[in-house]
């Protein structure tokens, strides 16, 4: 017990650990609130949503459904009346004069300030209440669907997984028949338990503790002493394991105290004794539990998942004899797990790799909210059962292995300490060359850059100009024909082209009316390019509103300037560049503190400014190589595939760059310079963090939180993070 208490004191009483925990807890709460209140598709506020459910609080599902349906019908009529449309033929029972007076007086607005927001609010609440009211029909539909599908020849083979899965489903839902659901707020439960960035914050909290009690001790060579003591092996390994579990509990308590409070005060939970299927996202769950039971089960499951995170990190830090390996192995594992989770289809025979997965386990909300059977050797196994069994097996296995390996671990050897004698044996006294040798050879940055260059070289695949349909081919032909300034001649061409299509349509309709059934085929070639022409005409309308905008075939330029067609390419490139920057430059200052050279540097005339300037130059060289290897292949690939026509045209010729008074070339140069400057700032930040943290693994953790995590969260559609830290500069196209 004393060992455990001492390990907890060591882990949790450090100012840095306390600061990281509190900062991540606050950041999680802020992000949760921002994510929930900045949804562009949701026009109404949380208070208005709560007000709707307060108005139906004492009603059962059928009564609430009737009331909300009536409100929605009334809003539909009022909206049509506001446009001056005649509704008496459609709504025969409606008193249009009364409703029009009601519309003019806005007395129909019970929750919001305008009819559009009110309609969306009522429609969303109606959808949730309707799911409660019609739950019995939903269960009957499962039985009917199963009977129907087992009769289809495609699924009728009794030995197939599809047949067994379909036949198993009605039995799994049979115990829910007769359930009566009470409508109440659903969004609070989803907000509190479905926010994935909370798990990223928990992972970082847990990693902070494990790094402190394992890797930090290895770096400081304290493990040599502990291995020689009476309780320095197995008992100490067990104490550290229990400390990891304590870190998991601390992360769970801090983060979900915030989440549960935020969900309650934002939307409310309603009657927590009601059945979980009354929460809209859980309508398809096969668990017969209450909301409060779900919350308890969720927190318990999440705690075990966090314990699995903790013991996995503990195992990796114990086995690895290098801080770099800890970071690299964790990065590879998480990347591989993410790729499997997001790319393997649910119906694939590889689905166990998708769902027996750390990312899937972290998404605990969906595990309980959805019904799913996994295809394991052709048999359907309920995912919830697989989740529990695999979680327990993995936790026990990793725990035993981590303690066993800890008792036999090796000390991390500082490479720079071994190289320090070699460096100063040389005949060259140039400070710059000594720093170059230390960074490029001693810290193996040269080998990392060569490996990255080889990866880029062998991974380079020339892209070809892609056309998703014939419309895109016609669009390209039009834009190449019209490229350049918007002249009167081009205006006449558009008018003539429109006349051609109008005449073809009229002639085709006349011939069809005369009974010529082949008329559509006759005019098919003429009208084939009409859809593309409509796009060109819409773009021409946009160009009329610009100052000097020109016709430009923009498919390639869109990929380089942040258009929606480029997807997340800018973010993934920024993520690659920053990850490489962290891997190559973190050791530059950490090694001085780990070898004790910092004392010498601080006490000599050329040990501060002169050394810093040389490290800055070396860092800039490394940064430039990474920048070129990251961005140059993509720019070359796109421009080689799509060409560089009209590169000097105004950037406002591209609709998503309407506010820029630059040429396309100048805009590309601008974002390239901004990215380079952003990487310089990131380099300085890495130097600052590593000089203050004085530990390689601690520096990696802090730099990952500051530089990498915001980009990862942005990739996970937490849009607020595109403006966080260096993200807008590194991405540039925001």
Tokens describing residue 397:
């296995």
CA atoms within 13 A on the CB side of 499: 6
Percent of the chain residues past pLDDT 90, beyond the cut = 13
Q: With 90 as the cut, is the pLDDT of residue 245 above it? A: yes
pLDDT exceeds cutoff 50 at 424: no
pLDDT, mean of residues 167-179: 84
Please write the tens of the pLDDT for every residue from 494-542.
Answer: 888 888 888 888 888 888 787 776 777 777 788 888 888 888 888 888 8
Q: Which residues pair with 484 in a beta bridge?
A: 551
Residue 619 CA, chain-centre distance (Å), reads: 30
Give phi and psi for 112, each to the nearest 5.
Answer: -120, 180
**pLDDT tens profile 640-669:** 888 888 888 888 888 888 878 888 888 899
**Which pLDDT score, from 0 to 100, does residue 607 have?**
59
On the question of pLDDT at 152 being above 70, the answer is no
Supply the pTM of this predicted model: 0.72
The burial of 68, by beta-carbon neighbours within 10 Å (0-12 exposed, 13-18 middle, 19 or more buried), is given as buried
pLDDT band at residue 690 using 50, 70 and 90 as cut-offs: confident
pLDDT at 342 exceeding the cut of 80 = yes
- What is the per-residue pLDDT for 423? 42
Residue 88 has pLDDT above 70, yes or no: no
DSSP helix/strand/coil, 650: strand
Q: Which of 223-237, 265-279, 620-634 has the lowest mean pLDDT?
A: 223-237
CB count in 10 Å sphere of residue 169: 19
- Output the pLDDT for position 420: 43
**Position 285 pLDDT exceeds 70:** yes
Distance (Å, whole) CA 22 – CA 145 = 50
Residue 376 sits at φ, ψ, to 5 deg, of: -115, 105
Q: In this predicted structure, which of 259-268, 306-315, 316-325 has the lowest mean pLDDT?
A: 316-325
CA nearest to 571, candidates 719, 462, 697:
719
Please list the alpha-helical segments (H only) found in 320-426.
323-343, 351-355, 358-362, 364-369, 383-406, 415-423
The residues near 651 (Cβ < 8 Å, ≥ 6 apart) are 561, 657, 660, 661, 662, 663, 664, 666, 667
| Residue 416's pLDDT band (cuts 50, 70, 90) | very low
Identify the top-confidence range among 158-172, 286-300, 467-481, 707-721.
Answer: 286-300
> How do strand 373-376 and strand 484-485 relate by DSSP bridges?
unpaired
Secondary structure (DSSP) of 117-165: HHHHHHHHHHHHHHHHHTHHHHHHHHHHHHHHHHTSGGG--TTSHHHHH
Supply φ then ψ for residue 350, to 5 degrees: -90, 10
CA 717 to chain centre: 5
Distances (CA, A) of 451 to 573, 586, 626: 17, 18, 11
At residue 378's C-alpha, the angle toward residues 377 and 379, to 5°, is 95
- Could you tell me the two tokens for 725? 């830290």
Token duo for residue 285: 């769950």
Residue 74's contacts (CB-CB under 8 Å, 6 or more residues apart) are 99, 108
Q: In degrees rounded to 5, what are phi and psi of residue 348?
A: -75, 155
Span of 328-332, 412-416, 565-569 with lowest mean pLDDT: 412-416
Check pLDDT > 90 for residue 296.
yes
Average pLDDT of span 362-374: 88
> Quick check: 586 pLDDT over 80?
yes
Q: Which of 589, 416, 24 is nearest to 256 (CA)?
A: 24
Residue 599: the pLDDT is 59
Measure Cα distances from 15 to 22, 198, 208, 311 in Å.
11, 22, 12, 23
Under DSSP, the state recorded for 290 is: B
Instruction: Determine the average pLDDT of the residues in 673-677.
Output: 92
User: What digits encode the pLDDT tens for the residues 207-226?
Assistant: 888 888 887 777 666 666 66
pLDDT tens digits for range 533-542? 888 888 888 8
Structure tokens at 124: 């969303």
The confidence score (pLDDT) of residue 520 equals 74
Give the pLDDT confidence score for residue 86 in this predicted structure. 57
In this predicted structure, what is the pLDDT of residue 248? Answer: 94
What is the mean pLDDT of the segment spanning 254-268?
Answer: 91
| Largest separation between any pair of C-alpha atoms in the chain | 103
- Residue 406: what pLDDT? 82
Average pLDDT, the chain: 81
Q: Read off the tokens for 501.
A: 């299509």
Separation between Cα atoms, residue 660 and residue 652, nearest integer Å: 6
The three-point CA angle 119-122-123 to 5° equals 80
Residue 331 has pLDDT above 50, yes or no: yes
Who contacts 522 (Cβ-Cβ below 8 Å, separation ≥6)? Answer: 508, 511, 516
The pLDDT score that the predictor gives to residue 549 is 83
pLDDT score, position 654:
85
Mean pLDDT, range 18-26, rounded to an integer: 85
Question: Using alpha carbons only, what angle is made at residue 259 by residues 123 and 275, rounded to the nearest 5 degrees?
Answer: 55
DSSP strands (E only) in 458-546: 484-485
The encoded tokens of residue 540 equal 């021409």
In the block, tokens 């260059």 appear at 453
Q: How far apart are the first and last CA of the chain?
A: 53
Euclidean distance between CA atoms 178 and 192, whole angstroms: 29
pLDDT on residue 593: 64
The predicted pLDDT at position 383 comes to 87
Q: 413: pLDDT confidence band, cut at 50, 70 and 90? A: very low
**36 contacts 191 by C-beta, under 8 angstroms:** yes
pLDDT, residue 209, reads: 87
Identify which of 675, 644, 629 has the alpha carbon closest to the alpha carbon of residue 460.
Answer: 629
Residues 6+ apart with CB under 8 A from 305: 199, 361, 362, 364, 391
pLDDT in tens, 403-412: 888 877 654 4
> What is the predicted pLDDT for the residue at 414?
46
């Amino acid at each position: 017990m004393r060992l455990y208490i001492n390990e907890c004191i060591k882990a949790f009483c450090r100012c840095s650990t306390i600061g990281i925990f509190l900062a991540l807890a606050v950041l999680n709460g802020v992000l949760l609130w921002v994510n929930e209140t900045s949804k562009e598709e949701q026009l109404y506020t949380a208070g208005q949503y709560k007000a709707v459910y307060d108005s139906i609080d004492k009603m059962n599902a059928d009564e609430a459904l009737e009331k909300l349906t009536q409100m929605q019908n009334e809003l539909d009529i009022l909206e049509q009346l506001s446009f001056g449309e005649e509704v008496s033929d459609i709504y025969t029972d409606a008193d249009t004069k009364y409703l029009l007076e009601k519309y003019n007086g806005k007395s129909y607005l019970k929750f919001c300030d305008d009819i559009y927001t009110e309609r969306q609010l009522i429609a969303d609440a109606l959808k949730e209440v309707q799911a409660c009211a019609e739950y019995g029909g939903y269960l009957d539909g499962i039985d009917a669907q199963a009977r129907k599908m087992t009769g289809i020849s495609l699924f009728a083979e009794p030995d197939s997984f599809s047949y067994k899965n379909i036949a198993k489903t009605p039995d799994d839902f049979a115990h829910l028949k007769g359930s009566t659901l009470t409508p109440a707020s659903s969004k609070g439960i989803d907000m509190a338990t479905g926010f994935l960035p909370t798990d990223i914050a928990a992972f970082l909290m847990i990693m902070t503790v494990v790094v402190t009690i394992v890797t930090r001790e290895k770096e400081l060579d304290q493990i040599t002493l502990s291995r020689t003591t009476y309780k320095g092996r197995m008992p100490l390994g067990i104490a550290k394991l229990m400390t990891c579990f304590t870190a998991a509990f601390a992360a769970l308590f801090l983060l979900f105290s915030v989440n549960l409070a935020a969900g309650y005060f934002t939307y409310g939970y309603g009657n927590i004794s009601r059945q979980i299927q009354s929460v809209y996202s859980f309508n398809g769950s096969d668990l017969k539990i209450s909301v409060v039971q779900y919350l308890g089960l969720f927190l318990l499951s999440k705690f075990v998942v966090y314990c699995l995170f903790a013991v996995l990190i503990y195992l990796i830090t114990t086995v690895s004899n290098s801080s770099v390996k800890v970071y690299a192995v964790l990065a590879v594992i998480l990347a591989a797990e993410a790729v499997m989770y997001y790319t393997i289809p649910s119906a694939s025979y590889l689905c166990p790799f998708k769902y027996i997965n750390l990312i899937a386990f972290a998404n605990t909300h969906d595990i309980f909210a959805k019904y799913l059977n996994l295809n394991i050797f052709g048999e359907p196994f309920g995912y919830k059962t697989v989740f529990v069994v695999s979680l327990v097996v993995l936790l026990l296995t990793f725990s035993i292995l981590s303690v066993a390996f800890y008792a036999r671990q090796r000390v991390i050897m500082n490479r720079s300490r071994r190289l320090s004698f070699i460096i100063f044996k040389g005949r060259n006294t140039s400070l710059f060359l000594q720093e170059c040798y230390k960074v490029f050879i001693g810290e193996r940055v040269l080998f990392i850059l060569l490996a990255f260059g080889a990866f880029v070289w062998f991974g380079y695949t020339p892209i070809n100009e892609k056309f998703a349909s014939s419309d895109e081919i016609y669009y390209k032909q039009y834009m190449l024909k019209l490229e350049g300034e918007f002249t009167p001649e081009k205006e006449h061409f558009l008018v003539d082209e429109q006349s051609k299509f109008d005449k073809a349509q009229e002639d085709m309709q006349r011939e069809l009316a005369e009974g010529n059934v082949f008329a559509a085929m006759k005019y098919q070639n003429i009208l084939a390019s009409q859809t593309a022409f409509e796009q060109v005409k819409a773009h021409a309308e946009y160009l009329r509103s610009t100052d000097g905008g020109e016709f430009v075939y923009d498919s390639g330029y869109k990929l380089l300037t942040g258009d929606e067609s480029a997807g997340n390419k800018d973010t993934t490139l920024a993520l690659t560049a920053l990850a490489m920057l962290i891997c190559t430059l973190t050791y530059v200052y950490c090694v001085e503190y780990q070898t004790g050279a910092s004392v010498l540097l601080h006490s000599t005339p050329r040990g501060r400014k002169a050394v810093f300037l040389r490290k800055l130059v070396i860092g800039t060289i490394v940064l430039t190589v990474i920048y070129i290897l990251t961005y140059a292949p993509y720019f070359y690939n796109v421009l080689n595939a799509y060409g560089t026509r009209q590169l000097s045209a105004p950037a406002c010729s591209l609709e998503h760059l309407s506010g820029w008074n630059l040429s396309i070339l100048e805009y590309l140069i601008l974002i390239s310079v901004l990215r380079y400057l952003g990487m310089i700032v990131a380099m300085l930040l890495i130097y600052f963090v590593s000089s203050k943290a004085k530990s390689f693994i601690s520096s990696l953790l802090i730099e990952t939180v500051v530089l990498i995590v915001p980009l990862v969260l942005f990739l996970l559609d937490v849009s607020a993070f595109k403006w966080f830290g260096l993200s807008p500069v590194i991405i540039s196209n925001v």
